[in-house]
Amino acid sequence: MDRIKGLVFDCDGVLFESRRANLAYYNTILKLLGEPTVSEDDNERANLCHTAASPQVFSGLLGQHRVDDALRIAETVDYRQFIPCMDPEPGLKESLSALARHYPLAIATNRGFSMPQILEHFELLKYFATVVTSRDVSRPKPFPDMLIETAKRMQLSIDDLLFIGDSELDQAAARSAGMCFAVYRGELEADLAINHHHELVEFFIGQKPCTNGGRFE
């Protein structure tokens, strides 16, 4: 971890608690298609809506034969109406501000068109050197393409970057790319585990020691 020169963040579940927003978005599209909606207690389907790129979400919810129809409907739905349902993670802006003074920061997310609108709404765009979404690569996470593209745009080696994610898709993408992985608020196997964004500041800028195999106490 001593050689880390840049930090890459997942969006959903790391920068924001966005389950309400994502579920409302996909349920709006399902209603327009005349399909049953996904309830919050349907953990597997709700988690799919929260972590995967839209083509994979629609394939999982509707079957591959309905993906094109669903994507066409999705293009007519303005995600901005759902952004107020998103909550920034505690201490996010303060931590990004501190980190950005020492490291280039990036986002690698399975989101598509909505990411610029979200960053603009929450006034976070200035903290990130680059933003890579599912629209920028041929294969979304769990494939490594997004992280490889992020490193290329940042002009840094894969070995120089740490990816902060919260899902198995994030973990798989990091491992496949050969990038160090930090799990945010989870129990996934990782090079570093954190429960608060301030811990990134303490680890990479401050003097607080890291104990318990990378987990902050």
C-alpha to C-alpha distance for 11 and 167, rounded to whole angstroms: 11
**Tokens (6 digits) for 56:** 């994979």
Instruction: State the maximum Cα–Cα separation within the chain, in Å, rounded to a whole number.
Output: 55
- pLDDT at position 214 over 60: no
CA torsion 177-179-185-190 (nearest 10°) is 100
pLDDT at 113: 87
Q: Give yes or no for a contact between 184 and 164, defined as CB atoms under 8 angstroms apart.
A: yes
Q: Give the position of tokens 């608690």.
A: 17
What is the pLDDT averaged over residues 145-164? 98
Least confident of 11-25, 68-82, 92-106, 197-211: 197-211
Query: Averaged over 151-173, what is the pLDDT?
Result: 97
Q: Which residues of 52-69 are buried (b: 16+ CB within 10 A; e: fewer)?
A: bbbbbbbbebbeeeebee
Task: Return the closest-CA partner of residue 9 out of 81, 93, 83, 78.
Answer: 93
pLDDT > 70: percent of the chain: 94
Band (3; pLDDT cuts 50, 70, 90): confident
**CB 204: neighbour CB atoms within 10 A?**
15
Average pLDDT over residues 188-211: 83
How does DSSP classify residue 12? B
> Which pLDDT does position 206 carry in this prediction?
78
